[in-house]
Structure 1
Amino acid sequence: MSSTATSTAATPVHTPWEELVTSALLGTDRRPLRAGPRGAGAADGPAALLDAAALHTVRRRAALLPASGAPAPEPAPADPRPPLPAAARRRLAQLLADRSAPAAAGRRGTAPDLTELIPQWLASAGARGFRAPADLLPALLDAARARTDLRPAVLEFAGPRGLWLAGLNPEWRFALRTSPGHARRPAVEDPEAVRRLWEEGLFAERVALLAAVRAEDPAAARELLATTWSTERAEDRLMFLDSLRTGLRGDDESFLEVALADRSRNVRATAAELLSALPESALARRMADRATSCVNPDRTGAAVSVAVEAPHECDAAMQRDGVVPVPPSGRGERSWWLSQLVEAGPLAVWGERFGGRSAQEIVALPVADGWGPELHAAWCRAAVRQRDPDWARALLGAPSTPPANGPGTASLAERSKLLAILPPAERALWVADFVAAHGLSEAFQLLGVCTVPWAGPLGRSVVDALDIARDAGSYPWSFSGVMGLAERCLDPAEAGRLEVLTTTPDEPEGASPGAGGYWSEAFQRLVSTLRLRAAMDAELTPDAPDGTDVGGPGAV
């Protein structure tokens, strides 16, 4: 008999499968098998274990019934957008791979932070109308799952195939809830399908549906909301009401007046805010009457000033119009009521009240009895709510004026909101002059509202301020936020002008030890990031070369 037959005959075929697994895990030296029937024969080695496992495997497989196959998914929809140039596709793969790499500890070094460039790359690719590469869709959806700030751009770029793929993986279901292109959303032109989804859909689907209808037909969206308004939960009513900010107009007033009597305080407050943003609404006129009864020109002196007499009570009518009666801790009742009245009143009424004076002239008038800061702060909020650029300019004042002495408010957060009302070019010039006058320590929030890439004067002003800080000999860490903004927002054309700042400067007397080296490293990173952004932009041009990445072999 051959050796093979002998080995098979000696196989412990009666050994249970569980004992085979235990012997395999522990080893046949520690847990030997017995050949033949249990308890008979001598201990056998690994060969017997493998033979027994093979026989058991055949026996187990023979007893299985074939499973019925799952139905194949529908084919992915077509995406008619043009494909990415080859260099841009490689760049995207690099950015997504870097996203999954562990963050480096300690100093950042001179290499660009690729993770922070993903939003900019997506914005550029989306603006050019490219479709996402099919093989990178999983990595794109993983990135959007990890970073909510990426989701709108990723889902727009991923297109219909991204949504199709998201439907096959539970971890990507967020795309079906948040994407404006969710397949369940019917066409706005199909009122029956819209009504059905509105009545039967999930909350997230209904929010997306209402926003889509509002963008295309504001009146239809309002009428859709009215059909179920009385049966909605308070938190849902608040979310739905907020969607009316898009396309807010005069014929929304009647619906908002109904919401003004809502049983939810938050809903009432939102309705009042929206009505006050409609200067011709009845609520705006009521607020104007109340505000002008409290704030008036005082002509008793040699020059006109502003006299203020704050309300002595917050009656039921005021509360119905959205005035909150109980002030925050540490705030006086009368000043709290006054600020709400002025904030909700139409700004145009003040020109009439003060003899046709402009916003700048009114803001410059002295305010009696120390009411100036309170009144100006309320005017700032009114200007933001009503998107009034004339009042925004007046309340911002000259950028060279220190914030504490400005005409409006010293709050940089409020100033940022006022700046956002101005046209982009004017906004950039104002911030550039502010940085030139006051440096960067108070400019971070203001820089955040400027359009990207920064206009030339603003970029030069920021770079000059960084250069001044470097020459002062302090460490760059207190400017890390501004430096990060510069990496993302400076015009890439500035890279050549910044090259001179990458050298290590001589340390002045009293400088922080090693500060020059840190500044050199920071500027090298800034320059390399700007050059990478320029390369990324060039790669996204339709005629970018396919053979090599734009930017040369040294590009990151």
Structure 2
Amino acid sequence: DRACGDGPAEADGPGPADWTEGTPAERRAAFAAFRRRDPTAARAALEAGFRAEKAEIRQSLVSALEVGLSEADAPFLETCLDDRSAGVRAAAQRLLPCLTRSLLASRMAVRATAALAVTSKRKLLGGTAHTLTVTLPEESPTLARDGVEPQASARPGGGTRARLLQDILGASPLHALAAHPPRLWIELALRSEWADPILEGLLAAIRRERDADWARALAGVLGEAYAGRLSGIRRTNPLRALWARAAALLPQAEWEGLVEDAFRAGEAETVLAHLGHGPAAFSARFTAAHLDWLAAVTRGSRAERDALAKTWLIDRFAERALPDEDAAAAAAAILTRLPEDADERLRGQLARLAETLELRAAMRREFGSPFTAGESARG
């Protein structure tokens, strides 16, 4: 799953001037550059000669519409759902859910609300009881046209129809569920026998739309459930893993704050789960907090040190940390103070961490590149 607007790497740089000539890669790059300059004119030019293009080119150029994608592209992409090329159809099926007012999004919204319904009833002693009714969808040609078909292998949480439900929710606009607050949908889903496909579908939709309110609700409810604050929900490793994936959708400062709380709580397994996700570059504050946590864990029990070594997250931290002299010195001190009975794998990881941070700090001194939170921390 990707967020809408995460354009293809080929579109990052300027392409050749003429998008109608050259290799498929050159044409894609040139068309992407055209889209950046004038999205409307680029789409109109593509439509004019689209049917005469070979399937490979049609697929490549439709995918490039991700650059500058807007609701104005929806009618053309809708026609691509009936293209004779499966690749073109797949490209349109991937882009149309990003356009939350498109016809495809509307069809998905209808399917989502047909599959999930909340009924509310007044309690005798006050308050309201809510119930989630789930109606699993059936496969159909119209659903397949929109890109939702049975998968070759079923995932945990149900069979083919459960996976159809997951994919429908993943492609449906979140405004389809506006009748109730995000938290209510999520809590009811968590208690449902179809929790896995519903929550996976919501996770995909939140990631695609980058909706911070839904992300906060999902991470908040799952965090409470894992902490044992929601009755009837078992604290399991899959629940913790889902919470970590949901938390990674939070704004960076909020994600870092959540993980810092886990640092202070000494919950090593929770910390490791969250560090497997999150931003590619850490702020200076979080880098320092992470190093303090590493120091505490490496001086703690052998079991915690061994668990840390198995994750290989230290190597990834070396690339994500914001490097400065203090960070490099802290990493070197952690290595120096490592107990003699520490696993050699862990010792090697810490040695690489210290070396990498020192190298990146030296590069910053040499080239004078200032970093702040949110910027790339790569040397």
TM over 0.5: yes
Q: Cα offset for 1:489?
A: 2.5
Q: What is the alpha-carbon distance in structure 1 between the residues aligned to residue 191 and residue 224 of structure 2?
A: 26
Number of the residue aligned with 1:167? none
Number of the residue aligned with 1:136? none
Pairing 1:457–2:286 present = yes
Number of the residue aligned with 1:233? 54
What percentage of aligned pairs have identical amino acids?
A: 29
Q: Cα offset for 1:347?
A: 0.7
Q: Cα offset for 1:480?
A: 6.7
Please, which of 57, 79, 82 is the counterpart of residue 258 of structure 1?
A: 79
Number of the residue aligned with 1:428? 256
Number of the residue aligned with 2:296? 467
Counterparts of 1:47-196 in structure 2 under 5 Å?
180-181=13-14, 185-186=16-17, 194=18
Please, which of 344, 348, 351 is the counterpart of residue 175 of structure 2?
A: 348
Pairing 1:529–2:359 present = no
CA contact 2:11–2:33 (8 Å) conserved in 1: no
CA contact 2:189–2:199 (8 Å) conserved in 1: no
Please, which of 321, 326, 329 is the counterpart of residue 146 of structure 2?
A: 321
Number of the residue aligned with 2:336? 503
Q: Cα offset for 1:387?
A: 1.9
Please, which of 105, 119, 130 is the counterpart of residue 304 of structure 1?
A: 130
Change (3 A) 1:410 1:236: farther
Q: What is the alpha-carbon distance in structure 2 between the residues aligned to residue 413 and residue 237 of structure 1?
A: 37
Query: What do the CA deviations read for 1:163-215 (whole angstroms, capped 9, x no partner)?
Result: xxxxxxxxxxxxxx999356xx22xxxxxxx3xxx333121210110111122
CA contact 1:413–1:445 (8 Å) conserved in 2: no
Q: What is the alpha-carbon distance in structure 1 between the residues aligned to residue 240 and residue 31 of structure 2?
A: 35
After the TM superposition, which parts of structure 1 deviate over 6 Å for at least 4 consecutive aligned residues?
A: none
Please, which of 268, 289, 313 is the counterpart of residue 482 of structure 1?
A: 313
Please, which of 370, 388, 409 is the counterpart of residue 211 of structure 2?
A: 388
Q: What is the alpha-carbon distance in structure 2 between the residues aligned to residue 272 and residue 179 of structure 1?
A: 23
CA contact 2:328–2:358 (8 Å) conserved in 1: yes
Q: What is the alpha-carbon distance in structure 2 between the residues aligned to residue 419 and residue 268 of structure 1?
A: 32
Change (3 A) 1:336 1:203: same
| Number of residue equivalences | 339
Query: Which amino acid in 2 is paired with 1:328?
Result: A
Q: What is the alpha-carbon distance in structure 2 between the residues aligned to residue 414 and residue 266 of structure 1?
A: 34
Change (3 A) 1:206 1:286: same
Q: Cα offset for 1:419?
A: 4.8
CA contact 2:244–2:274 (8 Å) conserved in 1: no
Structure-2-length-normalised TM-score = 0.76
Q: Which has the higher contact order (CA 8 A, sep 6+)?
A: 1
Query: Which amino acid in 1 is paired with 2:185?
Result: I
Aligned with 2:133: secondary structure? strand
Q: Cα offset for 1:460?
A: 1.5
Change (3 A) 1:520 1:283: closer
Q: What is the alpha-carbon distance in structure 1 between the residues aligned to residue 192 and residue 173 of structure 2?
A: 24
CA contact 2:291–2:331 (8 Å) conserved in 1: no
Change (3 A) 1:266 1:420: farther
Query: Which amino acid in 2 is paired with 1:484?
Result: D
Pairing 1:540–2:362 present = no
Q: CA RMSD in A?
A: 3.4
Aligned with 2:273: secondary structure? coil
**Structure 2 unpaired stretches of 5+:** 1-8, 124-128, 228-232, 370-379
Q: What is the alpha-carbon distance in structure 2 between the residues aligned to residue 478 and residue 494 of structure 1?
A: 20
Number of the residue aligned with 1:13? none
Pairing 1:209–2:27 present = no
Q: Cα offset for 1:308?
A: 0.7
Structure-1-length-normalised TM-score = 0.54
**Structure 1 unpaired stretches of 5+:** 1-151, 153-176, 187-193, 508-513, 543-556
Number of the residue aligned with 2:164? 337
Pairing 1:287–2:108 present = yes
Number of the residue aligned with 2:4? none
Query: Which amino acid in 2 is paired with 1:390?
Result: D
Change (3 A) 1:525 1:341: closer
Aligned with 1:330: secondary structure? coil
Change (3 A) 1:504 1:275: closer
